Structures are given as C-alpha cells and as structure tokens.
C-alpha cells in the first residue's frame, strides 16, 4: 500500500471521485500543510493556511501512482490559483503532497506532462507533507451522505470507476 495526498479544491468531491476506483483502499478528508495544529473547519476557512486535502491510500498493484496522478489532473484546473469551480480561498489551492520521497519522480513527470497541455503555468503545489489533520466527521464521505451537495467535479466523472 502507498499513500498520497491531493488538494484539489473542495475535498468532498475529490474524496468521492477517488472512492469509485478499484485499488483505492481508503480516503480521508482533512487539512494539510498549515501552521496551526488540529484546526477546525472554521479556522481553515479563515485563512489558517491549510489546504482541504484528501489522504488516499492505494494498492499500487491495482492502481499505479501514475494512473492516480492522471486521474487527479482530470478533475482540477491546474492553472487556477486558490480556486476550483465556485470555491475560492487559500484552502482551495491545488497540491500533491507526499510522505514517501520515492513518489516524487512520478509526481514531477506528471507535472511536466501536464504543463505541456497548457499555455499558462501550472500552479499545483508539489511538497512533502508537513502535517495532516483529519476533518470533522460530518465532512467524511459528505457527498455520499448529501448526494445533492455542491461539487466542482462533473457528475459524469463521478461515474467512471468500476466500484
């Protein structure tokens, strides 16, 4: 099993999107790479510096790291600063965070590959994970509990997996 962290705007949609694929062992939404320890959602929304992030644990024998990274880029605008869809603020920045440095070469490869598709620079953060705090329970699997909830990811993309 491997673990990677994705910040791609609102974490509700990113979690639901990844949950649909075989090879995904678990997902947890939380707050990453900010200064305050264990922030609340309200603090994150008040510029605590954290990004809404999804911890993705996956079986690389079923879903490769490169496949996972390509999926992530399908559901974000990598040229948008602190904004995805209707959500704006530093907590909605895009990022790929890692604890395992062996993931970095593939992350850098996908960044180069994706940059070739855009005239504007890609602004996705690529950084080691400094910290990750699990979000409040009501945020976990939010779109499963609230199917009509807002999401910047199209409904068609939420139905492309095999789970």
The question of whether 151 is a catalytic residue gets the answer: no
Catalytic residue among 7, 10, 28, 44: 10
pLDDT (tens digit, 9 = 90+) per residue, 115-161?
999 999 999 999 999 999 999 999 999 999 999 899 999 999 999 87
CATH number of 2-159: 3.30.1060.10
Residue keyed to tokens 């329970």: 137
Strand partners, 125: 95
Q: Which tokens is 46 given?
A: 């008040």
d(CA 24, CA 156): 19
Nearest to 161 by CA among 28, 67, 54: 67
Tokens 């609230």, located at residue:
146
What phi, psi does 79 have (nearest 5°)? -100, 0
Tens of pLDDT, residue by residue over 3-62, are 999 999 999 999 999 999 999 999 999 999 999 999 999 999 999 999 999 999 999 999
């Amino acid at each position: 099993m491997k673990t990677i962290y994705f910040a791609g705007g609102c974490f509700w949609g990113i979690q639901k999107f990844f949950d649909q694929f075989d090879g995904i062992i678990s997902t947890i939404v939380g707050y990453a790479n900010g200064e305050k320890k264990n922030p609340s959602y309200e603090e994150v929304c008040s510029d605590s510096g954290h990004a809404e992030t999804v911890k993705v644990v996956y079986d690389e024998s079923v879903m490769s790291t490169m496949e996972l990274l390509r999926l992530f880029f399908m559901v974000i605008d990598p040229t948008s600063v602190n904004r995805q869809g209707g959500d704006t603020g530093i907590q909605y920045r895009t990022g790929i965070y890692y604890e395992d440095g062996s993931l970095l070469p593939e992350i850098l490869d996908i960044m180069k590959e994706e940059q070739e598709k855009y005239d504007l620079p890609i602004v996705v953060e690529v950084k080691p994970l400094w910290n990750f705090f699990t979000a409040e329970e009501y945020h976990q699997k939010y779109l499963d509990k609230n199917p009509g909830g807002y999401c910047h990811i199209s409904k068609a993309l939420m139905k492309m997996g095999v789970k």
